[in-house]
């Protein structure tokens, strides 16, 4: 199989401490991280594109250049005059990381405000990936536009993939969060939640409960990630457990789930075997948590030779 993998969401400017009070600039965001790992793991028959909105400032230009350099297509990105990307900073105190965000006025919030462009992008892809964060940052009516578009893609037989990535503080209320995330899952073919988020925010008391809830909504396949405790796959009703890889020293768990999703989808698209794809993705995610930062370069992922 070949085609286009389209990831929809927000990529932000990332500032992290580099020592001596200096700050290092990077670019990251859940759906972009997944596109990064999908690109690293997919062969040349697949193109990976990122769909978002950016401004017309120098930082937006730099981000586009960075995305392009990673081999990810940027031609579908919406550029809006006078706007800028969102930004976040990683604070380190006594080895503990915390995050500060400046994203309320980010251009990405308008990514679905041009429905024709969104439709054109979705129609051009075989695989469409989005997340609960993508939905959370959009104004209500734009979230509805995006959901209608992915529903249309699902009806057209495309592989629509959704990671609920539940972040309560991005939502105006629990009610809106529950309703919209459930709608995201209903509009998708494959849902890839993290069990700790689902337990904390939907009250699921078991992985079975998470699978049951998403299947009842209409998702066909579900992959529940559970950190070091492995993943449970339910593909069209058939259930498999795949353990996590042993990691000697966990250095940074940022983007563990995003990298798992990207690697899983890459292998699943190429070989069609979900448990084998999960074993591969567990290896990639294990490398990612053994390194600093959200985006680990391909050479460090151990893709050639296990
Ligand atoms: P998220 O980052 O979305 O919370 P998880 O914590 O469930 O996602 O991690 C996603 C995947 O990353 C897991 O399924 C597993 O393969 C891998 N992973 C995460 N933490 C560890 C760990 N401590 N040891 C080994 N693998 C891990």
pLDDT tens by residue, 46-84: 999 999 999 999 999 999 999 999 999 999 999 999 999
Ligand 1 centroid to Cα of residue 226, in Å, is 6
- Cα of 231 to ligand 1 centre, how many Å? 9
Assess whether pLDDT exceeds 70 at residue 271: yes
pLDDT for 305 equals: 56
Residues whose beta carbon lies within 6 Å of some atom of ligand 1 = 194, 225-228, 231, 244-245, 247, 250, 253, 256-257, 260, 282, 285-286, 289
User: Per-residue pLDDT averaged across 195-207, rounded?
Assistant: 98
pLDDT at 236: 87
pLDDT digit string, tens, across residues 115-161:
999 999 999 999 999 999 999 999 999 999 999 999 999 999 999 99
Annotated catalytic residue, options 142, 163, 197, 258: 258
Kindly give, in sequence order, each residue whose CB lies less than 8 Å from that of residue 44, ignoring residues fewer than 6 positions away: none
Q: Is the pLDDT of residue 306 over 70?
A: no
- Tell me the CA–centroid distance for residue 266 and ligand 1, in Å: 17
- Collapsing DSSP to helix, strand or coil, 27 comes out as strand
pLDDT averaged over every residue in the chain:
96
Decide if 258 is catalytic: yes
The complex's ipTM works out to 0.98
Q: Buried b / exposed e across 233-262, counting CB within 10 Å, b at 16+?
A: bbbeeeeeebebbebeeeebebbbbbbbbb
pLDDT at 143: 98
Burial classification of residue 67, based on how many CB atoms lie within 10 Å of its CB (0-12 exposed, 13-18 middle, 19 or more buried): buried
Contacts 24+ apart (CB under 8 A), 142-145: 142/109, 142/110, 142/111, 142/112, 142/113, 143/112, 143/180, 145/112, 145/115, 145/118
């Amino acid at each position: 199989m070949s085609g286009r993998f389209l990831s929809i969401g927000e990529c932000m400017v990332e500032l992290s401490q580099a020592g001596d009070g200096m700050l290092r600039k990077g670019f990251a965001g859940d759906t972009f991280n997944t596109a990064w790992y999908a690109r690293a793991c997919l062969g040349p028959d697949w193109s990976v594109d990122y769909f978002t909105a950016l401004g017309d400032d120098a930082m937006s230009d730099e981000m586009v250049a960075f995305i392009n350099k990673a081999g990810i297509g940027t031609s579908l990105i919406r550029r809006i005059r006078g706007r800028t990307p969102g930004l976040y900073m990683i604070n380190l105190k006594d080895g503990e990381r915390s995050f500060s965000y400046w994203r309320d006025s980010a251009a990405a919030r308008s990514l679905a405000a041009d429905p024709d462009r969104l439709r054109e992008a979705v129609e051009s892809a075989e695989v469409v990936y989005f997340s609960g964060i993508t939905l959370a940052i959009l104004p209500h009516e734009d979230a509805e536009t995006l959901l209608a578009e992915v529903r249309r893609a699902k009806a057209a037989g495309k592989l629509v993939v959704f990671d609920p990535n539940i972040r309560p503080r991005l939502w105006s209320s629990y009610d809106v969060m529950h309703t919209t995330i459930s709608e995201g899952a209903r509009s998708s073919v494959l849902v890839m939640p993290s069990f700790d988020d689902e337990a904390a925010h939907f009250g699921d008391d078991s992985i079975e409960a998470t699978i049951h809830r998403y299947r009842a909504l209409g998702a066909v396949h579900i992959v529940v990630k559970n950190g070091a405790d492995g993943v449970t796959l339910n593909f069209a009703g058939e259930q498999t457990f795949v353990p996590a890889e042993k990691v000697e020293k966990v250095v940074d768990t940022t983007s563990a789930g995003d990298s798992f999703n990207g690697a899983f989808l890459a292998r699943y698209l190429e070989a069609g075997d979900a448990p084998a794809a999960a074993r591969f993705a567990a290896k990639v995610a294990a490398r990612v948590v053994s390194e600093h930062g959200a985006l680990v370069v391909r050479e460090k992922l151990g893709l050639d030779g296990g």
